[in-house]
Structure 1
């Protein structure tokens, strides 16, 4: 099992917080790649959720995704155990060969793809996705993985 894919509603909310709830995101250092996500301000798009291509410690990521609603268009999050291990991870092979432990990609506001080296984490997210009613939930395996890159945007 490589990962999980599913669809979230194309609306604003706290979907990153909801998806990652129950996972110790604070233990990772997060490389935030190019993306497009905005806080909601008076029912309109406001400030960017993330600066372009930056590094957050887990506590900062947790704080950002849990404080107020946002709208996700493209998201590229990669979790590393140590800041000094952060490097470019653009393919599944690079993911396997790196110290990157977790990849979360969102494309076109709805399509979520997650890769994790921890099978317990994948199962947790799978059953969480089922319980909250996300759609088209499936495990990603060696046989059905069609992604060529691990980059959202």
Structure 2
């Protein structure tokens, strides 16, 4: 699904999301399964969004400016417990919620 269609679907409906495992690729790039952080780095995938139990969210972003924007936006919206994921604090083995 392209970004516009995804955005319209989210905006036009009410949802209560419990689990989500989303990966975003630029249009025209190779779409492949992303299982690990190394897979993410080697792929054309630009964003990984993982939501677990409706409250824990992990976002992996390759573009540092976009990541900074997301970080500031989350803080401005009053979300707490926000921290950058680094190789030192990332306990996730797989980039999946399943």
| TM-score, normalised by the number of residues in structure 1 | 0.61
- Give the alignment partner of residue 76 of structure 2, picking from 131, 137, 150: 131
Higher strand share: 1
Matches within 5 A, 1:26-41: none
Which ranges in structure 1 are unaligned for 5 or more consecutive residues? 1-55
Superposed displacement of residue 129, structure 1: 0.8
Q: 2:59 aligns with which of 88, 100, 114?
A: 114
Aligned length: 98
Measured in 1, the distance between the counterparts of 2:90 and 2:66 equals: 18
Q: Does 1:105 align with 2:57?
A: no
SS of 2:35's equivalent? coil
- TM-score normalised to structure 2 length: 0.94
Instruction: Say if 2:2 is the partner of 1:57.
Output: yes
Q: Give 1:68 shift.
A: 2.5
- Kindly indicate whether structure 1 or structure 2 has the higher relative contact order, using CA contacts under 8 Å at least 6 residues apart: 1
Gaps of 5+ in 2: none
